Structure 1
Amino acid sequence: MSFYGIIGASILGLLASFIRYFEMPVLQRIAGMYIELSRNTPLLIQLFFIYYAFPEIGIKLSAQTSGIIGLIFLGGSYMAAAFTGGLNGVDKIQVESGKAIGLTNWQLARYVVLPQGLSLSVPAIAANVIFLIKETSIFTVIAIPELTNTALDQIGMYYHTDESLLLLVIGYAIILIPLSILLTWLERRARYGAFGN
């Protein structure tokens, strides 16, 4: 589920950051409202709303689908901030030069802004990936079987609190430490690519 949530959040975040970067007036306002709403409400409340309120208006979602949508909604706003930071790091003279030779916004994005902006965004994106994986522990409130939910089930059935929590910590460490090492390696590669070192 984390995989789908992170991919969806990245797509939504990139879209929102492009809307804000290229200053599309009406869409920019909508993107800004989405980012503020998403970042200023807890994921727990967002999950409850998606899982329990949507059926009231006729939209019935499974717990897993609700979890993925919640992760995309929350993660998209954080990814938008990461991408926006990278896009804003692109030298404005290059953007103005592209406009001067007649490049459209799409061409500017594809050939000038996106390649440089993405490499500048990698450290923030990496931090967001780790953050979003850790946020999946909240999914236990809507009964999604993930690491935390499994540990709590073991505690409830066998009363092995210490062992279950230790295994939970080890489980997250097994997932997150190698991922963190991989993302740090990607950050270094992106940094060298972005700055030509």
Structure 2
Amino acid sequence: MDFDFQLAWSIVPDLLKGLLVTVRVVILGFVVATVLGMAVALLQRSPSSIVRRLCAGYLSFLRNTPLMVQLYVLFFALPQAGITLPPISTGVLGLGLYYSAYIAEAWRGAIDGIDRGQWEAASALDIERSTTWRRIILPQALKPMLPVLGNYLIGMFKETPLLAVITIPELFQAAKQVAGLTYHYNEPYTVMALLFLLISVPTSLFFKYLEKRSHAA
């Protein structure tokens, strides 16, 4: 089948609306995942065995169940327990929780990779533990985390088609609707792929730039 460039151009505005929804959900989900992942990584170092076991259970559950199942639970099962969230909020929470489990492990590895002497020097200088974390440990842990965070952010964009199951009008859903209305499939899905590239490639380059800046600093 010939590719209809005129049709492809005409559907760009509709797909851009879906792209904006995708970007919004992914960015908010990424913030949730990064912050929550860091919190879990810190809690894993808690002196309380109960807290450490809870963290282990949290990570095990999220890493060993599919994202689609988790989205179904959040969107369809929680309302039966009296908790109803809008689709966008569910998508943000679903992506944030799922990826927080992976980012938590990355944070843990980055923190464990910091030389023990940094802790000893901070203790010798009588620096408060909260200040040690905020001003010494976490800034150093962030440097090796940058490429990892970039990869997970791009991965989140690739997972967004799953959000269609909870009625979020993201990019894939928009392309699917256009295909259903026009009975043309090459054009909407090709434009969709190009729009994903338009987001993922600059994102990858941006995190590589940040990584180089961090090593140069």
TM (normalized to structure 2)?
0.83
In the alignment, what sits opposite 2:194? Answer: 170
Summarize the Cα distance change of 1:116–1:52 in structure 2 as closer, same or farther, 3 Å threshold.
Answer: same
Computed over aligned residues only, the root mean square deviation of the Cα atoms, in angstroms, reads 1.5
Asked if 1:109 is matched to 2:125, the reply is: no
> Residue 125 of structure 1: CA displacement?
1.2
After superposition, give the CA deviation of every residue in 1:118-168 in whole Å (9 maximum; x if it has no partner). Answer: 112111111111111221121011110111001111111111111111011
- Which structure's CA Rg is the greater one? 2
- Are 1:9 and 1:76, in contact at CA under 8 Å, matched by a contact in 2? yes
**2:184 & 2:102 partners in 1: Cα distance?**
36
Cα-to-partner distance string for 1:65-98 (whole Å, 9 max, x where unaligned): 1111101111111211221121111101211332
> How many residues are aligned here?
193
Name which of 5, 19, 23 aligns with 2:43: 19
Cα displacement (A) at 1:108: 2.2
For structure 1, which runs of at least 5 residues remain unmatched after alignment? Answer: none
1:63 and 1:144 in contact (8 A); partners too: yes
* Larger RCO (CA under 8 A, 6+ residues apart): 2
Between stretches 15-24 and 153-162, larger displacement belongs to 15-24
Equivalent of 1:10, from 29, 34, 37? 34
Partner of 2:161: 137
Greater Cα offset, 35-44 or 97-106 = 97-106
> In the TM superposition, what is the alpha-carbon distance from 1:100 to its structure 2 partner?
4.1
**Paired-residue identity, %:** 30
Partner SS state of residue 173, structure 1:
helix
| Structure 2 residue ranges without an equivalent (≥5) | 1-24
1:56 aligned to 2:80? yes
Question: Match of 1:81?
Answer: 105
The match for 1:156 among 180, 184, 193 is 180
Match of 1:145, SS state, is coil
Cα distance, 1:112 vs structure 2 = 2.2
Partners in 1 of 2:47 and 2:121 — Cα distance? Answer: 18
Contact 1:123 1:187 in 2 (8 A): yes
Residue 69 of structure 2: aligned partner: 45
Equivalent residue of 2:114, what SS? Answer: coil
Q: Does structure 1 conserve the Cα–Cα contact (< 8 Å) formed by 2:150 and 2:203? A: no
Q: Which moved more, 1:106-115 or 1:149-158?
A: 106-115
Question: How far apart in 1 are the matches of 2:52 and 2:129?
Answer: 15
User: What CA distance in whole angstroms lies between the structure 2 residues aligned with 1:67 and 1:122?
Assistant: 24
Distance in 2 (CA, whole Å) between partners of 1:89 and 1:120 is 9
Residue from 83, 91, 95 that aligns with 1:67? 91
